Amino acid sequence: MVSYFMGLLIAAVVLILMYAIRILREYERAVVFFLGRFQAVKGPGLIIIIPVIQTMERVDLRTVVMDVPTQDVISRDNVSVKVNAVVYYRVIDPQSAIINVENYHEAVSQLSQTTLRSVLGKHELDEMLSERDKLNVDIQKILDEQTDAWGVKVTNVEIKHIDLDESMIRAIARQAEAERSRRAKVIHAEGEAQAAQKLTEAADQLSRNPNAITLRYMQTLIDIAGEHNSTIVFPLPMDLIQPLMKNMMTGQQKAES
Protein backbone atom coordinates (compact mmCIF):
# COMPACT_ATOMS: atom_id res chain seq x y z
CA MET A 1 0.00 0.00 0.00
CA VAL A 2 2.82 2.34 0.90
CA SER A 3 4.58 1.58 -2.35
CA TYR A 4 1.35 2.37 -4.21
CA PHE A 5 1.13 5.82 -2.63
CA MET A 6 4.83 6.36 -3.25
CA GLY A 7 4.30 5.59 -6.87
CA LEU A 8 1.43 8.04 -7.10
CA LEU A 9 3.51 10.69 -5.35
CA ILE A 10 6.43 10.20 -7.70
CA ALA A 11 4.11 10.35 -10.72
CA ALA A 12 2.56 13.57 -9.40
CA VAL A 13 5.99 15.10 -8.85
CA VAL A 14 7.04 14.15 -12.37
CA LEU A 15 3.88 15.69 -13.86
CA ILE A 16 4.40 18.85 -11.85
CA LEU A 17 8.01 19.10 -13.01
CA MET A 18 6.97 18.49 -16.61
CA TYR A 19 4.50 21.33 -16.36
CA ALA A 20 6.79 23.61 -14.36
CA ILE A 21 9.91 23.33 -16.52
CA ARG A 22 9.67 25.40 -19.72
CA ILE A 23 12.33 25.92 -22.37
CA LEU A 24 12.22 29.08 -24.46
CA ARG A 25 14.13 29.51 -27.70
CA GLU A 26 16.42 32.47 -28.30
CA TYR A 27 13.71 34.43 -30.13
CA GLU A 28 10.98 33.70 -27.53
CA ARG A 29 10.00 35.42 -24.31
CA ALA A 30 7.55 34.40 -21.57
CA VAL A 31 5.21 36.93 -19.97
CA VAL A 32 4.64 35.42 -16.50
CA PHE A 33 1.58 36.14 -14.34
CA PHE A 34 1.45 35.42 -10.60
CA LEU A 35 -2.12 34.82 -9.43
CA GLY A 36 -3.35 36.78 -12.43
CA ARG A 37 -1.04 39.76 -11.95
CA PHE A 38 1.91 40.53 -14.18
CA GLN A 39 5.14 39.39 -12.59
CA ALA A 40 8.00 39.43 -15.12
CA VAL A 41 9.22 38.76 -18.63
CA LYS A 42 11.47 35.70 -18.65
CA GLY A 43 13.62 33.88 -21.15
CA PRO A 44 15.23 32.68 -23.22
CA GLY A 45 16.43 29.32 -21.89
CA LEU A 46 15.12 27.27 -18.98
CA ILE A 47 12.47 28.80 -16.72
CA ILE A 48 10.34 27.42 -13.89
CA ILE A 49 6.58 28.03 -13.76
CA ILE A 50 4.81 27.08 -10.54
CA PRO A 51 1.62 25.20 -11.49
CA VAL A 52 -1.73 26.84 -10.69
CA ILE A 53 -0.05 29.84 -9.06
CA GLN A 54 1.81 31.05 -12.15
CA THR A 55 0.83 31.16 -15.82
CA MET A 56 2.72 32.33 -18.88
CA GLU A 57 2.20 33.57 -22.43
CA ARG A 58 4.80 32.98 -25.16
CA VAL A 59 5.76 35.88 -27.39
CA ASP A 60 7.76 35.55 -30.62
CA LEU A 61 10.25 38.39 -31.16
CA ARG A 62 11.05 37.62 -34.80
CA THR A 63 9.97 39.92 -37.62
CA VAL A 64 6.53 38.98 -38.92
CA VAL A 65 5.74 39.36 -42.63
CA MET A 66 2.02 40.07 -42.84
CA ASP A 67 0.18 40.19 -46.15
CA VAL A 68 -2.52 42.88 -46.22
CA PRO A 69 -5.56 41.63 -48.18
CA THR A 70 -6.59 43.45 -51.34
CA GLN A 71 -8.44 46.66 -50.51
CA ASP A 72 -10.87 48.62 -52.68
CA VAL A 73 -9.66 52.20 -52.72
CA ILE A 74 -11.20 55.28 -54.33
CA SER A 75 -8.54 57.87 -55.10
CA ARG A 76 -8.98 61.61 -54.68
CA ASP A 77 -9.75 61.94 -58.41
CA ASN A 78 -12.54 59.31 -58.07
CA VAL A 79 -10.72 56.35 -59.63
CA SER A 80 -11.51 52.92 -58.18
CA VAL A 81 -8.45 50.68 -57.73
CA LYS A 82 -7.57 47.49 -55.88
CA VAL A 83 -4.46 47.69 -53.72
CA ASN A 84 -2.63 45.14 -51.59
CA ALA A 85 0.49 45.50 -49.50
CA VAL A 86 2.85 43.72 -47.13
CA VAL A 87 3.73 44.88 -43.60
CA TYR A 88 6.88 43.95 -41.66
CA TYR A 89 6.67 44.24 -37.88
CA ARG A 90 8.11 42.73 -34.71
CA VAL A 91 7.37 42.76 -30.98
CA ILE A 92 9.80 44.89 -28.98
CA ASP A 93 7.87 44.94 -25.67
CA PRO A 94 6.34 41.53 -24.82
CA GLN A 95 4.58 42.92 -21.74
CA SER A 96 2.64 45.54 -23.72
CA ALA A 97 1.93 43.09 -26.55
CA ILE A 98 0.17 40.72 -24.14
CA ILE A 99 -1.41 43.12 -21.64
CA ASN A 100 -2.43 46.15 -23.75
CA VAL A 101 -4.09 44.34 -26.67
CA GLU A 102 -6.01 41.08 -26.92
CA ASN A 103 -4.44 39.83 -30.18
CA TYR A 104 -1.65 42.06 -31.46
CA HIS A 105 -1.34 40.24 -34.80
CA GLU A 106 -5.03 40.70 -35.63
CA ALA A 107 -4.90 44.28 -34.37
CA VAL A 108 -1.97 45.15 -36.65
CA SER A 109 -3.73 43.45 -39.58
CA GLN A 110 -6.96 45.42 -39.17
CA LEU A 111 -5.13 48.69 -38.57
CA SER A 112 -3.02 48.12 -41.71
CA GLN A 113 -6.12 47.63 -43.86
CA THR A 114 -7.87 50.77 -42.65
CA THR A 115 -4.70 52.88 -42.83
CA LEU A 116 -3.99 51.69 -46.36
CA ARG A 117 -7.43 52.78 -47.52
CA SER A 118 -7.38 56.13 -45.72
CA VAL A 119 -3.89 57.16 -46.86
CA LEU A 120 -4.27 56.16 -50.50
CA GLY A 121 -7.73 57.76 -50.66
CA LYS A 122 -6.10 61.16 -50.08
CA HIS A 123 -3.95 60.90 -53.22
CA GLU A 124 -4.67 60.91 -56.93
CA LEU A 125 -4.02 57.91 -59.16
CA ASP A 126 -0.89 59.45 -60.71
CA GLU A 127 0.60 59.90 -57.24
CA MET A 128 -0.16 56.27 -56.34
CA LEU A 129 1.69 55.07 -59.43
CA SER A 130 4.65 57.45 -59.38
CA GLU A 131 5.22 58.16 -55.65
CA ARG A 132 4.89 54.68 -54.19
CA ASP A 133 7.99 55.04 -52.01
CA LYS A 134 6.60 58.17 -50.36
CA LEU A 135 3.27 56.47 -49.70
CA ASN A 136 5.06 53.48 -48.16
CA VAL A 137 6.86 55.78 -45.71
CA ASP A 138 3.65 57.63 -44.81
CA ILE A 139 1.76 54.41 -44.07
CA GLN A 140 4.68 53.01 -42.08
CA LYS A 141 4.90 56.12 -39.88
CA ILE A 142 1.16 56.07 -39.12
CA LEU A 143 1.19 52.36 -38.25
CA ASP A 144 4.29 52.71 -36.09
CA GLU A 145 2.73 55.53 -34.08
CA GLN A 146 -0.52 53.60 -33.54
CA THR A 147 1.15 50.31 -32.58
CA ASP A 148 3.69 51.82 -30.19
CA ALA A 149 1.30 51.33 -27.25
CA TRP A 150 1.02 47.64 -28.16
CA GLY A 151 4.77 47.07 -27.92
CA VAL A 152 4.96 46.49 -31.68
CA LYS A 153 7.45 48.13 -34.07
CA VAL A 154 6.40 48.41 -37.73
CA THR A 155 9.69 48.41 -39.62
CA ASN A 156 8.53 48.57 -43.23
CA VAL A 157 5.47 48.76 -45.47
CA GLU A 158 5.50 47.93 -49.20
CA ILE A 159 2.61 48.44 -51.60
CA LYS A 160 2.75 45.40 -53.88
CA HIS A 161 0.09 45.82 -56.55
CA ILE A 162 -2.25 48.54 -57.77
CA ASP A 163 -4.78 46.88 -60.07
CA LEU A 164 -6.76 49.01 -62.53
CA ASP A 165 -9.80 48.29 -64.70
CA GLU A 166 -9.22 47.63 -68.38
CA SER A 167 -11.03 50.85 -69.30
CA MET A 168 -8.74 52.85 -67.02
CA ILE A 169 -5.66 51.15 -68.48
CA ARG A 170 -6.78 52.14 -71.99
CA ALA A 171 -7.47 55.70 -70.83
CA ILE A 172 -3.98 55.95 -69.31
CA ALA A 173 -2.48 54.60 -72.54
CA ARG A 174 -4.33 57.24 -74.56
CA GLN A 175 -3.22 59.92 -72.14
CA ALA A 176 0.41 58.80 -72.43
CA GLU A 177 0.17 58.75 -76.22
CA ALA A 178 -1.29 62.27 -76.26
CA GLU A 179 1.45 63.46 -73.93
CA ARG A 180 4.17 62.01 -76.19
CA SER A 181 2.51 63.64 -79.22
CA ARG A 182 2.41 66.98 -77.42
CA ARG A 183 6.09 66.72 -76.51
CA ALA A 184 6.99 65.81 -80.10
CA LYS A 185 5.14 68.89 -81.41
CA VAL A 186 6.79 71.14 -78.84
CA ILE A 187 10.25 69.78 -79.68
CA HIS A 188 9.57 70.21 -83.42
CA ALA A 189 8.41 73.80 -82.87
CA GLU A 190 11.48 74.57 -80.76
CA GLY A 191 13.67 73.13 -83.52
CA GLU A 192 11.96 75.29 -86.14
CA ALA A 193 12.42 78.38 -83.97
CA GLN A 194 16.12 77.64 -83.47
CA ALA A 195 16.59 76.94 -87.19
CA ALA A 196 14.88 80.19 -88.10
CA GLN A 197 17.10 82.08 -85.70
CA LYS A 198 20.25 80.53 -87.14
CA LEU A 199 19.09 81.20 -90.73
CA THR A 200 18.43 84.83 -89.84
CA GLU A 201 21.93 85.17 -88.40
CA ALA A 202 23.42 83.50 -91.50
CA ALA A 203 21.46 85.81 -93.82
CA ASP A 204 22.72 88.83 -91.91
CA GLN A 205 26.30 87.63 -92.30
CA LEU A 206 25.93 86.91 -96.02
CA SER A 207 24.21 90.25 -96.74
CA ARG A 208 27.28 92.10 -95.52
CA ASN A 209 29.41 90.71 -98.38
CA PRO A 210 27.82 89.96 -101.79
CA ASN A 211 30.76 87.76 -102.77
CA ALA A 212 29.93 85.44 -99.90
CA ILE A 213 26.53 84.79 -101.47
CA THR A 214 28.18 83.87 -104.77
CA LEU A 215 30.57 81.48 -103.02
CA ARG A 216 27.62 79.90 -101.21
CA TYR A 217 25.86 79.34 -104.53
CA MET A 218 28.96 77.71 -105.94
CA GLN A 219 29.29 75.43 -102.93
CA THR A 220 25.64 74.41 -103.29
CA LEU A 221 26.24 73.55 -106.97
CA ILE A 222 29.21 71.36 -105.98
CA ASP A 223 27.09 69.55 -103.40
CA ILE A 224 24.27 68.92 -105.91
CA ALA A 225 26.68 67.74 -108.60
CA GLY A 226 28.16 65.22 -106.20
CA GLU A 227 24.82 63.43 -106.00
CA HIS A 228 25.00 62.34 -109.72
CA ASN A 229 21.81 64.09 -110.72
CA SER A 230 21.07 64.22 -114.46
CA THR A 231 19.15 67.53 -114.23
CA ILE A 232 20.01 70.42 -111.99
CA VAL A 233 17.61 73.33 -111.59
CA PHE A 234 19.37 76.12 -109.78
CA PRO A 235 18.25 79.75 -109.44
CA LEU A 236 20.84 82.35 -110.39
CA PRO A 237 21.00 85.62 -108.53
CA MET A 238 20.18 88.76 -110.48
CA ASP A 239 23.49 90.41 -109.58
CA LEU A 240 25.24 87.66 -111.57
CA ILE A 241 22.91 87.79 -114.56
CA GLN A 242 22.81 91.58 -114.97
CA PRO A 243 26.53 92.04 -115.91
CA LEU A 244 26.21 89.22 -118.45
CA MET A 245 23.09 90.79 -119.96
CA LYS A 246 24.82 94.16 -120.19
CA ASN A 247 27.82 92.62 -122.00
CA MET A 248 25.52 90.79 -124.43
CA MET A 249 23.56 94.00 -125.18
CA THR A 250 26.77 95.99 -125.73
CA GLY A 251 28.14 93.34 -128.12
CA GLN A 252 24.88 93.23 -130.05
CA GLN A 253 24.81 97.03 -130.46
CA LYS A 254 28.37 97.04 -131.74
CA ALA A 255 27.58 94.35 -134.27
CA GLU A 256 24.55 96.24 -135.59
CA SER A 257 26.53 99.45 -135.97
The CA distance from 190 to 37, in Å, is 78
Whether the pLDDT of residue 215 is over 80: the answer is no
Q: Among the ranges 12-21, 117-126, 213-222, 239-248, which has the highest mean pLDDT value?
A: 117-126
Count of beta carbons in the 10 Å neighbourhood of residue 254: 8
- Interhelix angle 104-120/132-147, rounded to 10 degrees, is 140
Higher pLDDT, 129 or 170: 129
- Which is nearest to 83 in space by CA: 123, 44, 50? 123
* The pLDDT of residue 80: 87
Average pLDDT over all residues of the chain = 84
Model confidence pLDDT, tens digit, residues 58-75: 999 999 999 999 999 988
**What order do you get walking across the sheet with 54-60 strand by strand?**
37-42, 28-34, 54-60
Give strand pairing partners of 182. none
Q: How confident is the model at residue 24 (pLDDT cuts 50, 70, 90)?
A: very high
* The pLDDT of residue 184: 87
Q: How confident is the model at residue 97 (pLDDT cuts 50, 70, 90)?
A: very high
* The pLDDT of residue 195: 84
Count of beta carbons in the 10 Å neighbourhood of residue 247: 10
Average pLDDT rounded to a whole number, residues 104-117: 94
One-letter amino acid for residue 113 of the chain:
Q
- Which is nearest to 160 in space by CA: 256, 69, 231? 69
Whether the pLDDT of residue 50 is over 70: the answer is yes
> pTM above the 0.85 mark?
no
Model confidence pLDDT, tens digit, residues 144-192: 999 999 999 999 999 988 888 776 667 777 777 888 888 888 898 888 8
Average pLDDT rounded to a whole number, residues 205-224: 69
* The pLDDT of residue 235: 61
* The pLDDT of residue 211: 67
